A and B are shown apart, each in its own frame.
Chain A
């Protein structure tokens, strides 16, 4: 982010500067290269070779559940996060948030000093003030006035520390709160998509945000590798458009209030008149297509035992119970759907909710509130009034990474260590024990939650690693040193997942709420009833619940669905927008009782009419620069209560004051009659590919038939399967992290100056109300006949002997001819020196193997050439031959569905080459004769023939 483009220079002043710069420019060359210093180690750590990266296993915990990661470090600083291939929640993949969490470690806005009130303080002073004897005098001998707020936790270490605290303060109260954590139940719903032929997701983002989504995405994609040999069929019923909905074969939009009636209807259709069924299924809303549901029901019935019905964890208990009953009726229970014990502490116990805390604060019983990493002053329904209630507690100790909304109200503030700086443990959603291992010493004077709880328990100086070791020993999790070492090395304990629990006979499902009447535009009464809208509250794909709002990589990551950056918007369907008379960026005022929210509108095809979708995490009011720079509205101000997925009877009206230019990177949904992202139904594809077709002949060309490619033993190429690309955007952030791609900021995104080397285009085909969406990762195509190369006047873009289209920054003079001549529009120009304003610490995130580009040069995807060269050199040093399939690009490595594969054209046995040979393989804009090295596989939609509207 830079503003050196914006200033108020006069014309005369400008000419003066131009003249002076011209006159002095020549002198610039008269300096020698500055002297450089070399600082070797005093005693070299044995595990470290300068210049060679080291990898460690660790885990990232979100809303209580761990995902195993492998982090790469150079000379002691973490520079890249990858998934842990053995960990069941990762399987080697990551999502965008995992990738970007690295930037948070080096965030310049992180809190650096411990304070008491406004005064700088120290850990020693804090622990002196919170020794058990002195704290007891303030919170009562049994700790009745001590209240602790933590995120839901699955950490055996934290649980043991809490137990220790309870022996000191038996009456202490603990609350577990994260706004978007799932329901607080003793068991968790588990699914296996691998054996499922038919998957029904009812407002369940199983591929995007649900726990284990990386695992599910892999299982989903593995059943769609080659459509000629059968594939699963994904149905989605949802009010908003999600990553899962974009990948669905058949999708039905519905108003959020219709979810329960639809599920009840399905259950009664499928013979759910057992004891578990609801008392009476209410009538379906008029706008729900019953024929569609009938086709779905017959498909489910035909695949009984090999199907799965999933309701999102944020759905109402009734909706989730209905989905569970559907699985029972279909005989899926135990095969594709089951329950296992929740890994969370005190799961299912009542009295731990944040509303209970608000009541306690209001009643004045809270003497000391310890808040461990939960930004309750922001990330809670505004109706609870926590941000003002907090001050009812005389003492407020807050452990947080930033000087945020809660820090502002804290009497003691302790900077929190990043997970890459702390020791800890956690369980994955399936129960797998995972280790959180630090890669660096804390950069600042920060403490982890473990250290804070240990301090409260009277162990202020305890070494967290020893605490962890001890806790694992006592709990029998790692009885021997070997078991401990192996757990630390691999990052998790294999086979420690929880077994299925026998489902207890379900109590009858409560009454199903009747859907609100429709506010569709054709309804004659809508003009007089503007308050019949429904608002869907959704977790954000980028900032989640707001905690990642200061990570520039995530703020600038185009949302997988809307392609919106730097903020949120009220997503409305085209018909709803027409009804309201708004277009993109026009302000809306949403009102329900006393709560109101103003937010710009953004039109998204495929949304249910009469609804607006708002993502959490924006409208931050703390002191973090990027979080504030992101223009957005705070969904918590409208959110009625924790765990509520939607809100009915909302009035929506135009409000010009909330209008704002929306920084979207792809405001277009149409392919304009071309077919760059191909999509076909399975039936049509199988029919066409079973007939013998001649192999595609090369296009006629005037060029020499022998291109100077081919002198190297490897010829690099990539294949991207649009059929399994779910558009999650993990690859975009992975590319950004690997290749030192700068963040440009809201203003520059508005001017289309975003720098992503890899973008994900998404197109909608079919009817605007409910289109089929296809997502297409678009990166440098490494054309064999690259149009950019012909027009560069200085030879700054060349072709390598192994088939790469190379960009040489130090030669580039910035004419931008190449970008003009690129038909794929994948070249990016550095309009400013986006790295100039980075602090010393922020620079540590840069990958030392990739040049940090200057202002005025062009850049683009290099196929991660640094990884190719590193692999080539490693093979040469070892005296072995390099296998092309061993080189993995950053996007490929992050991809949860293995949609991206990389390799060499010279090795026909690789997956990359096999996919290239499929009949659905094609290259984008083939008719231009650029001969791209990136091949796409058309998306195959496994449409239900009964519903085939294509």
Chain B
């Protein structure tokens, strides 16, 4: 009786066993790599907004300080999305009739807020507090990137737990004088290796890695 299977089926069986093993290891590895990729977190993808507000013009060219609009960053967990009234002082004299500013005018007339789309997203079980970071000398740029160069803002950093911890374990590397937190493209006057520990001591910065630092 002729062999039921040709000889190459041995190789095929071995190969499929190997493929299975690779699959078992590879699929989880691949998924783990994927969730860490910028693709999964939508990093670098500009988020379209109801008003084509241009940070490059406002924060970059005009040099308006971050805190002018994100006013509560020093005293609240949230940096604050500016209320419609923040736009009015300038835009009652500049670009008065621009169609792009129609939502602002409509909002002021109707009293209905402008619906913005969130760019930097943390999961709901993460309790991030802007005020303490800024007051301890962590620059806006450190987490949000060069917003002054973004025409349409996108998420610039991974915002994963590993990334948060990289600084929480060794905070000194990211500290700058509190006066300089809003500066975009900041370079330390002296070497960060010397300045960082000095600022950490001055602002009483500790490495906080307990779970309840962020998860409550």
* Residue contact B216 to A35, C-beta cutoff 8 Å: no
Q: A residues 779-821 with Cβ under 8 Å of B?
A: 798, 800-802, 804, 806, 808-810
Q: Given A44-B85, A49-B75, verify A38-B131 contact (CB < 8 Å).
A: no
Q: Give chain A nearest CB distance to B129 CB in angstroms.
A: 5
Give the distance in Å from the alpha carbon of A802 to the alpha carbon of B212 in the complex: 10
What residues of chain A lie closer than 8 Å to B114, measured between beta carbons? Answer: 39-40
**Considering only CB atoms, which chain B residue lies closest to A38 in the complex?**
B116
Give the distance in Å from the alpha carbon of A38 to the alpha carbon of B47 in the complex: 13
Contact of A810 (CB < 8 Å), options: B82, B123, B129: B123
Q: Given A37-B115, A877-B135, verify A869-B124 contact (CB < 8 Å).
A: no
Give the distance in Å from the alpha carbon of A804 to the alpha carbon of B208 in the complex: 14
Contact of B125 (CB < 8 Å), options: A51, A712, A810: A810
Interface string of B106-140 (1 = CB under 8 A from A): 01100111111110010111010101100110000
Q: List 30 A-B contacts (CB under 8 A).
A: A29-B31, A32-B40, A33-B123, A38-B81, A38-B117, A38-B118, A40-B82, A40-B84, A41-B83, A41-B84, A41-B85, A41-B113, A42-B107, A42-B113, A49-B75, A50-B76, A51-B72, A51-B78, A52-B75, A804-B212, A806-B210, A806-B211, A806-B215, A810-B215, A851-B215, A865-B212, A869-B213, A869-B216, A873-B129, A877-B131
What residues of chain B lie closer than 8 Å to A809, measured between beta carbons? Answer: 125, 215
* Residue contact A40 to B83, C-beta cutoff 8 Å: yes
* Residue contact A37 to B116, C-beta cutoff 8 Å: yes
Give the distance in Å from the alpha carbon of A809 to the alpha carbon of B123 in the complex: 12
Give the distance in Å from the alpha carbon of A866 to the alpha carbon of B129 in the complex: 12
Chain B: residues with Cβ within 8 Å of the partner, total of 46
**A interface vs B, CB < 8 Å?**
29, 32-33, 35-44, 49-52, 712, 798, 800-802, 804, 806, 808-810, 849-851, 862, 865-866, 869, 873, 876-877, 879
Give the distance in Å from the alpha carbon of A281 to the alpha carbon of B105 in the complex: 85
Q: B residues 63-81 with Cβ under 8 Å of A?
A: 72, 74-78, 80-81
* Residue contact A801 to B115, C-beta cutoff 8 Å: no
Give the distance in Å from the alpha carbon of A29 to the alpha carbon of B35 in the complex: 9
What residues of chain B lie closer than 8 Å to A862, measured between beta carbons? Answer: 212, 216
What residues of chain A lie closer than 8 Å to B132, measured between beta carbons? Answer: 873, 876-877
* Residue contact A876 to B78, C-beta cutoff 8 Å: no
Contact of B204 (CB < 8 Å), options: A32, A35, A798, A876: A876
What residues of chain B lie closer than 8 Å to A712, measured between beta carbons? Answer: 206
Contact of A49 (CB < 8 Å), options: B72, B113, B206: B72
Classify the interface of chain A: helix, strand, loop or mixed: loop
Q: Give chain B nearest CB distance to A294 CB in angstroms.
A: 58
**Considering only CB atoms, which chain A residue lies closest to B134 in the complex?**
A877
The A-B contact count (CB < 8 A) is 122
Q: Given A810-B215, A865-B212, A876-B204, verify A33-B83 contact (CB < 8 Å).
A: no
Contact of B84 (CB < 8 Å), options: A38, A43, A49, A800: A43
Give the distance in Å from the alpha carbon of A704 to the alpha carbon of B35 in the complex: 39
What residues of chain A lie closer than 8 Å to B127, measured between beta carbons? Answer: 849, 866, 869
**Considering only CB atoms, which chain A residue lies closest to B80 in the complex?**
A50
* Residue contact A49 to B76, C-beta cutoff 8 Å: yes
Q: Given A810-B123, A873-B129, verify A849-B82 contact (CB < 8 Å).
A: no
**Considering only CB atoms, which chain A residue lies closest to B82 in the complex?**
A40
- Please tell me if B183 contacts chain A, counting CB pairs below 8 Å: no
In addition to A804-B210, A877-B135, 17 A-B residue pairs with Cβ atoms within 8 Å of each other are A36-B121, A37-B116, A37-B117, A38-B118, A40-B80, A40-B113, A42-B83, A44-B83, A44-B85, A49-B75, A49-B80, A800-B210, A850-B216, A862-B212, A862-B216, A869-B127, A876-B136
* Residue contact B117 to A35, C-beta cutoff 8 Å: yes
- Please tell me if B42 contacts chain A, counting CB pairs below 8 Å: yes
What residues of chain B lie closer than 8 Å to A865, measured between beta carbons? Answer: 212, 216
